[in-house]
Amino acid sequence: MASNAGVAPSTGFGALQTRAIGYARQRFIQLEIGLEAQAEMLPLWLPIAFGAGIAAWFALPTRESWAWVLGAGGGLALLGLLLGLRHRTGLALFVGGVALTLGCAHIWHRAERMAGPSLSRPMIVDLRGTLISSEQQVAREKWRLIVAPDAGQGLPARVRISVPLEALDHLPAPGARVAVRARLTPPPAAALPGGYDFQRQAWFQGIGAVGKAIGPVAITQDRHTPGLRDRLSAHIARHVPEAASGVAIALVTGDVGRISVDDQQAMRTSGLAHLLSVSGLHLSAVVGAVFFLTLRLLALSPALALRVPLLLVAAFTAACAGIGYTLLTGAQVPTVRSCIAAILVLIGLALGREALTLRLVAAGALVVMLIWPEAVIGPSFQLSFAAITAIVALHDSPLAAKWLAAREEGAWARLTRSIFGLLLTGLVVELALAPIALFHFHKAGVYGALANLVAIPLTTFIIMPAEALALLLDGLGLGAPFWWIAAKAIAALLALAHKVATWPGASALLSDMPVAAFGLFLLGGLWVLLWRGSVRWLGVLPLVLAALITALAPAPDVLVTGDGRHMAVRDAGGQWFILRPRAGDFVRQALAERAGFGEDLADLDGARAARCSADACFVRMTRGGQSWLILAIRSPYRMRWADLVTACAQADILISARRLPRACRAKTLQIDPAYLKKTGGLAISLAPLSLTSVRAPRDDHPWMATAQAD
């Protein structure tokens, strides 16, 4: 009896263990079968794993967390080795783990390698140096110069300064000597959580100080020989009316500085802003036109058609045209990225492969990440690759291929099918881009698919060909008709943008999308686009979860910029008010975008819940049944000590850009220069009280570590 009692538990555990092993083996076999069916799609996840390592380095704040990412990637690779590289599962885990580790290590190394001196405090200097680059921003009435200061001035290796437009009569050439009295500051961090972080961007550009001229600018040793880009801009400006010349110049040279602020805003709101920056659309038009014309012209000769590989010659000519256009437009990262993708497509055509596939898109993304890993977290990289991935994935899907495939049918049916295809493509692209736009810009165009249905053909088939023909025929004095056509078409494009921008609900606004929600949106979207079969619809789960997290995220009630000078508060009706009536347009726009507010900010002096004087404002806010009294100091002048201390004691939250006496203490939260130096700009929710800050309590990213040390 005793013996039997001792055997039974062992036998039961062994059976349970056997069943568990059998279950795991079955799941592994099913996973292997599933991955085998998706074998063609697995390589597409290599750049995604590499990019995830880069993104993790930016998202996580400390060196220890980066080491954990490296360790996690190594652990996945080791697990893959243990499972065996002959299995799809083992190979996928090994390659994904290695890519994750390499991505994190690559950006970590690049960030450390970009280390350079940065200005520690604001100062006024007599700057002397050599001009690296210059940009004319006519719409903003200024020049932007990047200067390499002479040694011995105690300045960083690169300084960016803004100069009034009237201070210079021409665009100085790189290599010129610059002498100017300027007020310089360290590169500013994001003014508000979720805002544009120029400090991070400046780190990777090697810029250690920014500022503006406060005296006359002396330019010497200037060759004063305008380059091709500048000559083209001046030539276009002479032939196209001023209202349309900014867009005409931008489409040819990539210089958007001449487009008016109103036109730029209308293009953004209508979802047409992508037309203003030279990238995929423009480069594709140039490369495609050169490829087509070269192939057709060479094919006119029977001898060449029989003896020369015309496809290879046309691809080489188009590649040269793409590279030349990229250099002409300033070789900005988005343009270079599009050029790389175009060259990959041409290589595929020359080899007799399909013109554009998801593998080519993945290869282009990987090349860009190897050269500019920091581009991964920027909206330009995300928007462009999300758009092209969505387009290719849509047309690769069996259902879309069936509906959009060419067939024998009448002209009207063919036209209807083409319009439906354009509209469907535009809708899919808008859905793919919306989370990215909402995360980075806090708004997304709602009618972009409809607007682009007209704008893209107008730009691709009328405006750009008309400008190209005008430039070619100007040497013969025959370009005027084509300049007229281009000007009229650009006027129609701008009219469309302004009209769509005025439609009700033209922009979807969002005050905040948590990073976790954004990551889930990307994961779900990529899952749906890159897998085949019914398994792709599992990507809907992270999309739904991301939407729920975003919907439940608390909206901010108070926004405070990093310098403490500017504050915006939201009343119970959803109206936003700004502390300083004289705040500039840039500050007002930044606060409105972060608030997810589509109207102008009203002055706090006129709010019912506020009591304001020239020195300060009291604001009474009620959230979640709790009343909060906010005191915001807005005067830089001396205040009566007793009155100030009494006011501070009454306030639940105190916000001040100036240092306050020690006796001035708020009940719950005191936001002063010492506090903001640790946190940066703030978004405050009152029900319950929670704060989102620009800076984490500890941030080891080199640009943040330098700023905190200063």
Tokens 């609900």 belong to which residue? 505
Question: In this model, does residue 449 exceed pLDDT 60?
Answer: yes
Query: Domain end: 552, 569, 602, which one?
Result: 552
Please report, rounded to a whole number, the percentage of residues in the chain having pLDDT higher than 70.
Answer: 92
pLDDT score for 653 = 94
Q: Which of 524, 458, 523, 465 has its CA nearest to residue 492? A: 458
Measured at the CA of 61, the angle between CA 60 and CA 66, to 5 degrees, comes to 60
CA distances from 295 to 118, 238, 319, 462, 566 (A): 52, 34, 13, 22, 60
Q: Which of 688, 555, 681 has its CA nearest to residue 194? A: 681
pLDDT score for 506 = 74
Between CA 599 and CA 202 the distance in angstroms is 31
The answer to whether the CB of 190 falls within 8 A of the CB of 562 is: yes
Comparison of pLDDT for 226 and 523, the residue scoring more: 523
Comparison of pLDDT for 269 and 8, the residue scoring more: 269
Please report whether residue 32 resides in a domain: yes
pLDDT score for 586 = 85
For residue 672, the tally of other CB atoms under 10 A from its CB is: 18
pLDDT score for 354 = 61
Pair (580, 686) in one structural domain: yes
Between CA 293 and CA 291 the distance in angstroms is 6
CA distances from 70 to 54, 103, 106, 274 (A): 11, 9, 11, 36
Structurally, the chain folds into a number of domains equal to 4
The answer to whether the CB of 132 falls within 8 A of the CB of 157 is: no
Please report whether residue 350 resides in a domain: no
CA distances from 186 to 148, 157, 535, 632, 663 (A): 15, 13, 50, 26, 32
Please report whether residue 70 resides in a domain: yes
pLDDT score for 6 = 47
Question: In this model, does residue 338 exceed pLDDT 80?
Answer: no
Most confident of 389-403, 426-440, 536-550: 536-550
Q: Is 637 helix (H, G, I), strand (E, B) or coil?
A: coil
- Buried b or exposed e, range 306-344, using 16+ CB within 10 angstroms: eeeebbeebbebbbebbbebbebbeeebbbbbbbbbbbb
Question: In this model, does residue 445 exceed pLDDT 90?
Answer: no
pLDDT score for 8 = 47
Q: Which of 560, 553, 680 has its CA nearest to residue 569? A: 560
Separation of CA 142 from chain center: 24
The answer to whether the CB of 472 falls within 8 A of the CB of 481 is: no
pLDDT score for 80 = 92
For the segment 85-105, the average pLDDT, to the nearest whole number, is: 93
Residue 257 makes CB contacts below 8 A (sequence gap 6+) with 135, 136, 137, 138, 139, 140
Q: Is 177 helix (H, G, I), strand (E, B) or coil?
A: strand
Mean pLDDT, the chain, integer: 85
Pair (524, 591) in one structural domain: no
- Biggest alpha carbon distance in the chain? 113
For the segment 252-269, the average pLDDT, to the nearest whole number, is: 80
pLDDT band at 109 (very low <50, low <70, confident <90, very high): very high
Pair (74, 198) in one structural domain: no
Question: In this model, does residue 402 exceed pLDDT 80?
Answer: no
The answer to whether the CB of 254 falls within 8 A of the CB of 277 is: yes
| Residue range(s) defining the domain that contains residue 532 | 515-552
Question: In this model, does residue 227 exceed pLDDT 50?
Answer: yes
pLDDT band at 417 (very low <50, low <70, confident <90, very high): confident
Pair (581, 690) in one structural domain: yes
What amino acid occupies position 672? D
Residue 560 makes CB contacts below 8 A (sequence gap 6+) with 566, 567, 655, 671, 676, 681, 682, 684
Q: Which of 673, 694, 687 has its CA nearest to residue 557? A: 687
Where do runs of H (alpha helix) occur along 651-701?
A: 673-679
Pair (87, 27) in one structural domain: yes
Question: In this model, does residue 304 exceed pLDDT 90?
Answer: no
Most confident of 46-50, 233-237, 504-508: 46-50
Pair (144, 61) in one structural domain: no
Please report whether residue 346 resides in a domain: no
At 669-698, the pLDDT tens digits run 999 999 998 999 999 999 889 999 998 888
Residue 460 DSSP symbol:
I
What amino acid occupies position 276? L
Pair (108, 152) in one structural domain: no
Q: What are phi and psi of 651, to 5 degrees?
A: -80, 140
Judge if the upstream peptide bond of residue 554 is cis by omega within 30 degrees of 0.
Answer: no
Sheet containing 653-656, strands listed edge to edge, beginning at the edge strand earlier in sequence:
610-612, 616-623, 626-633, 653-656, 669-671
Pair (636, 698) in one structural domain: yes
Comparison of pLDDT for 607 and 506, the residue scoring more: 607
Tokens 């979860």 belong to which residue? 545
Pair (592, 678) in one structural domain: yes
The answer to whether the CB of 171 falls within 8 A of the CB of 679 is: no
CA distances from 344 to 187, 248, 314 (A): 37, 28, 14
Pair (662, 605) in one structural domain: yes
Tokens (6 digits) for 388: 């092209």
Please report whether residue 344 resides in a domain: no
pLDDT band at 393 (very low <50, low <70, confident <90, very high): confident
What amino acid occupies position 638? R
pLDDT score for 356 = 65
Pair (705, 563) in one structural domain: yes
For the segment 654-677, the average pLDDT, to the nearest whole number, is: 90
Between CA 707 and CA 430 the distance in angstroms is 38
Please report whether residue 701 resides in a domain: yes
Between CA 240 and CA 481 the distance in angstroms is 11
Q: Which of 33-37, 244-248, 418-422, 641-645 has the lowest mean pLDDT?
A: 418-422
CA distances from 459 to 252, 278, 279, 281, 614 (A): 12, 12, 13, 9, 51
CATH number (domain holding residue 214): 2.40.50.140
Between CA 686 and CA 664 the distance in angstroms is 22
Pair (599, 524) in one structural domain: no
For the segment 441-465, the average pLDDT, to the nearest whole number, is: 82
Between CA 539 and CA 520 the distance in angstroms is 9
Between CA 238 and CA 236 the distance in angstroms is 5
pLDDT score for 377 = 92
pLDDT band at 584 (very low <50, low <70, confident <90, very high): confident
CA distances from 35 to 105, 361, 397 (A): 28, 21, 19
Please report whether residue 505 resides in a domain: no
Query: Domain end: 69, 85, 113, which one?
Result: 113
Please report whether residue 398 resides in a domain: no
Question: In this model, does residue 542 exceed pLDDT 90?
Answer: yes
